[in-house]
Amino acid sequence: MRRADRLFQLVQLLRLRRSATGRELAEVLGVSLRTLYRDIRDLEYSGVPIRGEAGVGYRLDRGYELPPLTFSQAELEGLVLGARMVSTWADSELAEAVRSAMIKVEAALPEGLRRVVLETALYAPDFPRTQEMSRDVDLMRRAIAEHRLLAFEYTSADGQQTRRDVRPLALHFWGNRWTLASWCELRRDYRSFRPDRMREVRVLERRFDPADGIDLAHFLARVELPD
């Protein structure tokens, strides 16, 4: 691990814990106590508000935030690939949002890391059915976030058409399709549906209580995936 990455990780550890001893931090980072003490000293010299208390350990002052956009090359490559996948496979609103976010990331990076964003050779190719497969995903995301029911016409794998009102619980992307995890009001059971088989999707005014026991955990324990 590069020293810069280790120092970043050290600050993150202190942000996530109320306090930690030097030995605990050294074990997590895989370094000696001597190295850990040197790292803490250097962070203090650079202005990071780390406090040491005998018998308790080290803590970070509340409210301290790291300077933004301190990324390793691998982290940036992961972000670029994820952004390209979202741009290709998600709905248009989310695709535009992630493109805007990556422009902000690129603008704030130093020159050396900016080249990683521009030159990363990891892609998520588009093909003719991509937009069909992600149709109305923006409406489904909204319904999940607002705990509202969805209504749509659905065509099953055998061609049967039904009207469904469902509680949307989560969206899953499988690499070649999306599925909507849900509770179906018609069947009174958990079901999953493919957006590319839905028509006339509407977000209803009716809300549902996400704490009433009908939830994603129970869906995952019982549901069978659609064909």
- Whether the Cβ atoms of residue 133 and residue 178 lie closer than 8 Å to each other: yes
**Each residue's pLDDT tens digit in the chain (227 positions)?**
678 778 888 988 888 887 899 999 999 999 999 999 999 999 888 888 899 887 789 988 877 765 555 688 898 999 999 999 999 999 999 999 999 888 888 877 777 788 888 899 999 988 888 888 888 999 999 999 999 999 999 999 999 999 999 999 999 999 889 999 999 999 999 999 999 999 999 999 999 999 999 999 999 998 766 55
pTM for the whole structure: 0.69
Q: What is the pLDDT of residue 226?
A: 58
Largest CA distance in the chain: 71
- Domain boundaries of the chain, sorted by first residue: 3-60, 73-119, 132-222
Q: What is the pLDDT of residue 127?
A: 84
Q: Identify any residues that bridge with 172 across adjacent strands, giving them in sequence order.
A: 179
- Whether the Cβ atoms of residue 40 and residue 23 lie closer than 8 Å to each other: no
Q: What is the pLDDT of residue 39?
A: 92
Question: For domain 132-222, which architecture applies?
Answer: Roll (2.30)
Going from the C-alpha of 111 to that of each of 35, 76, 123, the distances in angstroms are: 30, 13, 22
Q: What is the pLDDT of residue 9?
A: 86
Tell me how far apart the alpha carbons of residues 77 and 63 are, in angstroms, rounded to a whole number.
29
**What burial letters (b/e) apply to 62-86, b meaning 16+ CB within 10 Å?**
eeeeeeeeebeeeebbebbeebbbb
Do 3-60 and 132-222 agree at the fold level? no
Tell me how far apart the alpha carbons of residues 217 and 101 are, in angstroms, rounded to a whole number.
31
Q: What is the pLDDT of residue 4?
A: 76
If one looks up domain 3-60 in CATH, what number appears?
Answer: 1.10.10.10
